[in-house]
Amino acid sequence: MLELLSGFPSMLRLDCAVTSRFAHTVMTSTALNKANVSQEIFFEVEMPKTAFITNFSMEIENRFYVGEIKEKEKAKKQYEKAVSSGQTAGLVKASGRKMEKFSVSVNIAAESNVTFILTYEELLQRKLGLYEILTRVKPKSLVQEFKIVTNIYEPQGLSSVDAHATFLSNDLLPLVEKTVSDKKAHISFSPTIDQQRKCPGCDGTLIDGDFIIKYDVNREKNLGDIQIVNGYFVHFFAPPVLPRVPKNVVFVIDRSGSMGGMKMQQTREAMLAILKDLDEEDHFALVPFDSVTEVWKESLTKATKQNVSDAMNYIRTIDARGSTGMTSGVTKGIDMLKKGRQENRLPERSTDMIILLTDGMPDGGSSYVQSNVGSAMGEKMSLYCLGFGNDVDYNFLDVMSKENRGMARRIYEASDATLQLQGFYEEVASPLLLDVDLRYPDNAVDFLTTNNFAQLFNGSEIVVAGRLTDNNLDNFLVEVLGQGASALDWTAMYPDDEYIFGDFTERLWAYLTIQQLLEKSKTGDSNMKANATAKALEMSLEYSFVTPLTSMVVTKPETEDGNADPVIADKLTEGNLLYFSTIFFLPSKTFNSGVLLSSTVDGDPHFIIELPDRHDALCFNINDKPGTIFNLVSDPESGIVVHGQIIGDKKISPDGTMNTYFGSFGIIHQTLGVRLEVNTQEISVFQDNKQVKLMDLLVTKDRSLTVTLKDSVKFVIVLHKVWAKHPYHRDYLGFYTVDSHLLSPSVHGLLGQFYHGIEYEVTGLRPGEHPDKPDATMYVKGRELNVTRGWQRDFSRDVKNGERVPCWFIHSNGTGLIDGDASDYIVSSLFTTD
């Protein structure tokens, strides 16, 4: 959800890119404070509970505040030292059944605006035969520019794509544009401001609810699909045609006093519908419990029409009473299943499961119940726990079900609780395979995610990912073991590069691994829990995921009282339904006149954009023939212009290369009518063709020149001296900017366009051509670029030796990072102002 509680939203946009079920979503919102005084602007986003935040940033008055992923405990300790200063933060809290809410506020000056950008990623889960992309939108007012865009790419091919929204009227329905080809789908929704109105001329908006996309993929008549990208693979396992496995299910139903009223009525209604759906090959039992455990029949019964009818009549008589006796109810169900197996009254090829429905706390304590249930169940039964309402000990149910080959689900107290119960049952009602074990060649893969599963249900999907140790595999042999499966030989698929965002297989692998480590951290002995937690934390930090172990910290602008507030994004767990995130804080640099962006050009020519707020830098080269002149800075408001001219080596080197550098700079102050030319030989300052001293020129003994324009920016020009008898190289200049914030927001040029910052995101770190220079994917200005981590030298502080600056190198003359093409910045002379 995108929601603005105050401020006038001028833009609200959601961009979602899905590649092979892995969704990368960017939510962007711009709000304008139209008041004549500063006010607080609120930004709220609802995102799926299964998603991990990967980035949050704010742009305020052309300054960027970018989040950093930090270990939660370290952040908390730092915050506790500063809590007395009245700092505030973003909050994450549960928001309904599938979503959690992130909210943040920031104080914005009169007639100013703020842009919020939130990025999250998730692996879409297949349920009942479909993947779902859910977007909740509640702008609460009309939006000048509103747009939802989703692009889906599935190498297997798309079998169905559907898009709808809970708020779509007959007038809005045609605005949902959907284009579907074999492997791709494009869905967009972009109503105009008038189309958003509830009525002509009124300010109320129709946009309020869920925008939902559901789709599925083609499935061949084999048992899997493997996709390989950049050394990682993902295996999607969902056989299209398999006979269902009969199930033996015991329904253990809490009928204690707290289940009275609507809860028990809805439970009865759900059970009546579930019993109708039992297959005649299934066996079932009913075990209601309070302080006393009863059974409908002493043994499991085949689901014939007559038996189902009799069971439905019994269900109608169940009523709430007494206190809870959960342990007795569950162990009774276990005993009935064991007895049925021992007496050979249950099919050999069938699955045993217990479905527990309760709203209460464990009797005797959670450890007591877990121990008794775990020792009684053995290794073949599955326990599914349904926790009714907010008072249930959901964490206990979650751990107990996972320890016993099952899962837990919260049932919300609402008018549709009956449908919630039925929906969960439908997910587990049709097992297709049991004890599924997917095996891969030991000499070909490592770092596998979980590859053995208790069962595969109809309409679901098993996903396994890992790293390849042999990137040249033409065929990928996978052995599947389990009741109803046999070994098969798969041919790997290589998705088209055009539709891949970053190393999605590696990030998908990391996402799965972290999710599974978090589950392992809840079960097992203390050493296993500690190891799983430590590894999950390490990977959360490495891949920049906000998980229950990490926090994202963004330092907000200073307020009038001088405080710089931290914004925190924390990850919730289902067990903390009513939890507001603890406010964690780590100090980070704030934007003010003392923290400046530094943009430079030096060397061959190496452009360096230093970003102190991110402790990072971007760099690129511009290669052109000697004599070419480029515009570096152009500020129409102050009238300041800077051009630089390329020079080359004395001659081509034996290896056929010629280095190029900047050999001269022209600095123009149009308002004052002043021109300054600096080259490797001399410095000239002119006004109306006469030498003047309207600027401060400071030449130091280390061959650097500082040019200070009155009440404005400073430029530092460094002369690099080369041995005069060098056969190829010659003297050249470097250009550095200080106090670039004093130029106007409209400043441009090869350097100037970066003076007020740039928003970008780097993901998918991977090995590059050089072992010390890894590659990655950068998302910047709506583009996706391949970048390389490297170093450049900054000579602004040490003219002789320079200082190594780590940076992300953008290839091909900065294409994709700079606006337009490098040739767009070529000018005719050092002093042109056209």
For 102-113, the pLDDT digits (tens) are: 767 677 777 788
Q: Give the pLDDT mean for 127-155.
A: 90
- What pLDDT shows up at residue 81? 45
pLDDT at 803 exceeding the cut of 80: no
Q: Write the pLDDT tens digit of every residue in 389-433.
A: 777 788 888 888 888 888 888 887 777 778 888 888 888 888 888
Cβ neighbours of residue 442 closer than 8 Å, sequence gap 6 or more: none
Q: Write the pLDDT tens digit of every residue in 463-505.
A: 999 888 865 555 567 777 776 555 454 455 555 544 445 567 8
pLDDT at 716 exceeding the cut of 90: no
- Report d(CA 328, CA 318) in Å as an integer: 18
Architecture of domain 247-429: 3-Layer(aba) Sandwich (3.40)
Half-sphere exposure of 356 (CA within 13 A, CB side): 35
CATH 3.40.50.410 spans which residues of the chain?
247-429
In three-state secondary structure terms, 691 is strand
Q: Do the strands 683-687 and 301-302 form a parallel or antiparallel pair, or are they unpaired?
A: unpaired
- Report d(CA 781, CA 147) in Å as an integer: 17
- Tell me the one-letter amino acid at 143: V
Q: Write the pLDDT tens digit of every residue in 217-263.
A: 998 766 577 877 777 888 888 887 778 889 999 999 999 888 888 88
- Tell me the one-letter amino acid at 341: R
Q: Give the pLDDT mean for 572-600.
A: 35
Alpha helices in 671-815 (DSSP H): 811-814
- What pLDDT shows up at residue 332? 94
- Report d(CA 679, CA 536) in Å as an integer: 55
- What pLDDT shows up at residue 198? 87
CA 833 from chain centre, in angstroms, equals 44
- What pLDDT shows up at residue 696? 46
Strand partners, 382: 353
Q: Which of 80-84, 295-299, 637-641 has the lowest mean pLDDT?
A: 80-84
- What pLDDT shows up at residue 775? 85
Closest CA to 283 of 327, 380, 331, 349: 349
Q: Write the pLDDT tens digit of every residue in 807-832.
A: 889 999 899 999 999 999 999 999 88
pLDDT interval class at 186 (50, 70, 90): very high
Question: What is the percent of the chain where pLDDT is above 90?
Answer: 24
Q: Write the pLDDT tens digit of every residue in 156-171.
A: 899 999 999 998 888 8
- What pLDDT shows up at residue 84? 38
- What pLDDT shows up at residue 371? 73
Strand partners, 564: 558
- What pLDDT shows up at residue 574? 56
pLDDT at 723 exceeding the cut of 80: no
What sign for the dihedral angle of Cα 195, 199, 201, 205? negative
Q: Which of 29-33, 590-594, 665-669 has the lowest mean pLDDT?
A: 590-594
pLDDT at 717 exceeding the cut of 70: yes
Q: Write the pLDDT tens digit of every residue in 189-221.
A: 999 999 998 888 888 889 988 999 999 999 876
pLDDT at 274 exceeding the cut of 60: yes
Three-class HEC string of 365-422: CHHHHHHHHHHHHCCCEEEEEEEECCCCCHHHHHHHHHHCCCCEEEECCCCCHHHHHH
pLDDT interval class at 363 (50, 70, 90): low
- Report d(CA 542, CA 69) in Å as an integer: 9
Q: Which of 64-73, 271-280, 699-708 has the lowest mean pLDDT?
A: 699-708
Closest CA to 101 of 150, 54, 51, 57: 51
Q: Give the pLDDT mean for 39-58.
A: 82
Would you state the structure tokens that stand for residue 309, as one six-digit string? 């009818």
Q: Which residue has the higher pLDDT, 364 or 258?
A: 258
Question: What is the percent of the chain where pLDDT is above 70?
Answer: 79
- Report d(CA 609, CA 437) in Å as an integer: 50
- What pLDDT shows up at residue 599? 64
Most confident of 484-488, 692-696, 747-751: 747-751
CATH 2.60.40 spans which residues of the chain?
8-219+545-570
pLDDT at 346 exceeding the cut of 60: yes
Q: Which of 30-34, 153-157, 411-415, 785-789 has the lowest mean pLDDT?
A: 411-415
**127-136 CB burial, b ≥16 within 10 A, e <16:** beeebebbbb
Q: Which CATH class is domain 8-219+545-570?
A: mainly beta
Cβ neighbours of residue 515 closer than 8 Å, sequence gap 6 or more: none
Q: Which of 137-151, 310-324, 669-683 has the lowest mean pLDDT?
A: 669-683
pLDDT at 699 exceeding the cut of 60: no
CB 406 within 8 A of CB 381: no
- What pLDDT shows up at residue 799? 65
Most confident of 391-395, 502-506, 632-636, 651-655: 632-636
- What pLDDT shows up at residue 365? 62
CA 454 from chain centre, in angstroms, equals 29
CA 118 from chain centre, in angstroms, equals 8
In three-state secondary structure terms, 151 is strand
- What pLDDT shows up at residue 330? 92
Look over the chain and give the mean of its residue pLDDT values, rounded to a whole number: 79
User: In the chain, what are the helix, strand and coil shares in percent, each to the nearest 5?
Assistant: 20, 40, 40
pLDDT at 40 exceeding the cut of 80: no
Q: Give the pLDDT mean for 330-352.
A: 92
pLDDT at 116 exceeding the cut of 70: yes
- What pLDDT shows up at residue 748? 93
CB 620 within 8 A of CB 817: yes
- What pLDDT shows up at residue 569? 60
- Report d(CA 799, CA 794) in Å as an integer: 8
Q: Give the pLDDT mean for 357-372.
A: 71
Q: Write the pLDDT tens digit of every residue in 507-561.
A: 889 989 998 998 888 777 788 888 888 899 998 888 888 888 887 776 655 555 5
Strand partners, 646: 662
